[in-house]
Amino acid sequence: MAIAKNMPILPVQAYTSQDWFEQEQQYIFSRTWQFAGFVEDLSDPGDYLTLQAGFNNILVLLDEKQQLRAFHNVCRHRGTQLLRASGKGKKFLTCPYHDWTYNLDGELTAVPERKTQFPDLDLKTLCLHKASVGIWRGIIFVHPEPDADSLTDWFSPVEPYLGPHQPEKLVEYVEGRARHEINANWKIIVENYIDGYHLAHLHSETLFMYDHRQQETGFVGNHFYFYEPLAKDYLKGIEDNSPLPLIDHVPKDKIGAYVPMLFPNLGLSETESSWSTFYVIPVAPDKSIVEIRTKVMPVSDWRYLMQEWKSWNYFRHRKWDKYGTGDADDPLASGDFMAEDIYVCEQQQRSFKSPYFSIGATAKDLEQSVYQYQRNVQSYVEQRMS
Ligand SMILES: [Fe+2]
């Protein structure tokens, strides 16, 4: 089966056509656990957030008893979205269209003109539709189905391959939140995320702190796992070399980069000094958004300054710029590995339109993860279509 290994699993249309996109919305994103936020985003009753999960807009809130609840964010009257974005301290959920009002348990409590015009309307039959919600590693996940399979069962097989990080003990570096609009299909971004082959090449000047030859990768079910140790010279003086304070609960023999991609679209990046979520949101066949949130050690600003200062020695001789052009407008000269990745993702998306496009994979071992991911996407859709 050597030939099959090199053949692309998914056709070009999987990355360009509206039909494929809608199928994935229906059979993948409407039917998997989706990232909603961090536990600390909701702290008091009535705090809420909203998200899109496939065809479903979902709202997550803390009810009066501080319990997490998830509902489909559509009014039972005419389907208008009830709440927008996120917010604090809601006592009731009122639809902007006709002021139908629900309590935090999703029960319809008030319909204007009811007494005069619809005295027989039974409010109990018009509760908000429930969705499933759960917490794993300090992350809130939502599933559009009310009786979804257990979140714990979904992630437990991949847990042995994750970092020893305890995200609950870290704090979010809020200024470091990033949102990238990328002109590429969501799968291109995921495939780039799990592709270990390009790390030593595209990122030769930006990710030199890790030993890319020592990658350990694989799949557990649909989830992808990835680990690589720190580069020897970086590790040797890591206490000084790290630009951020080290995560103190990661034992020295476990230090490295753990970069899993949880099916279908949530990457984690668990390193010696930070813990990040990388959430890929499909917007259109050729458009996606990536939202990144990062947690770090809860220590003083002074410690951060000191650490940055100490790490200067290790980083000061680096040029960061792949071709040394110094061109400020060139993503390949940015010194930012995310800018480098966005560049190649958008280039691949553009190439799909060329009649000369084809995939000539040679790295059977290193690109196997990309093929396996495509197989997983395909079989997830097929199983649910049949
Ligand atoms: Fe990359």
Residues 134-166 have pLDDT tens digits of 999 999 999 999 999 999 999 999 999 999 999
Q: What is the pLDDT of residue 317?
A: 86
pLDDT in tens, 231-265: 999 999 999 999 999 999 999 999 999 999 999 99
| Rounded CA separation 160/177 (Å) | 28
Question: Is the pLDDT confidence value at 208 over 60?
Answer: yes
State which fold the 34-143 domain adopts.
Rieske Iron-sulfur Protein (2.102.10)
**E strand or H helix that includes residue 293:** strand 287-296
Residue 92, Cβ density class (10 Å: 0-12 exposed, 13-18 middle, ≥19 buried): exposed
∠ CA(29), CA(344), CA(285), 5° rounding?
A: 30
Question: Is the pLDDT confidence value at 6 over 60?
Answer: no
**Confidence at 363, pLDDT banded by 50, 70, 90:** low
**E strand or H helix that includes residue 239:** helix 238-241
The predicted model scores a pTM of: 0.95
Centre of ligand 1 to C-alpha 325, Å, is 20
Note the residue count of the chain. Answer: 386
Give the phi and the psi of residue 350 in degrees, each rounded to 5: -65, -40
Q: What is the pLDDT of residue 68?
A: 98
∠ CA(173), CA(176), CA(182), 5° rounding?
A: 145
- Of the CATH numbers 3.30.1180.10, 3.90.380.10, 3.10.150.10, 3.20.20.70, which one belongs to the domain with range 166-385? 3.90.380.10
| Domain range annotation of the chain | 34-143, 166-385
Centre of ligand 1 to C-alpha 232, Å, is 21
Question: Is the pLDDT confidence value at 207 over 90?
Answer: yes
| Rounded CA separation 88/169 (Å) | 24
Centre of ligand 1 to C-alpha 347, Å, is 13
Centre of ligand 1 to C-alpha 343, Å, is 10
Neighbours of ion ligand 1 (CB under 5 A): 341
Centre of ligand 1 to C-alpha 201, Å, is 9
Question: Is the pLDDT confidence value at 27 over 60?
Answer: yes
Centre of ligand 1 to C-alpha 206, Å, is 10
DSSP H helices, 53-164, are 114-117, 151-155
Centre of ligand 1 to C-alpha 332, Å, is 12
Beta-carbon contacts of residue 167 (< 8 Å; ≥ 6 apart): 38, 137, 138, 139, 275, 295
Residue 43, Cβ density class (10 Å: 0-12 exposed, 13-18 middle, ≥19 buried): exposed
pLDDT in tens, 76-120: 999 999 999 999 999 999 999 999 999 999 999 999 988 888 888
Question: Is the pLDDT confidence value at 286 over 90?
Answer: yes
**Confidence at 2, pLDDT banded by 50, 70, 90:** very low
Q: What is the pLDDT of residue 7?
A: 63
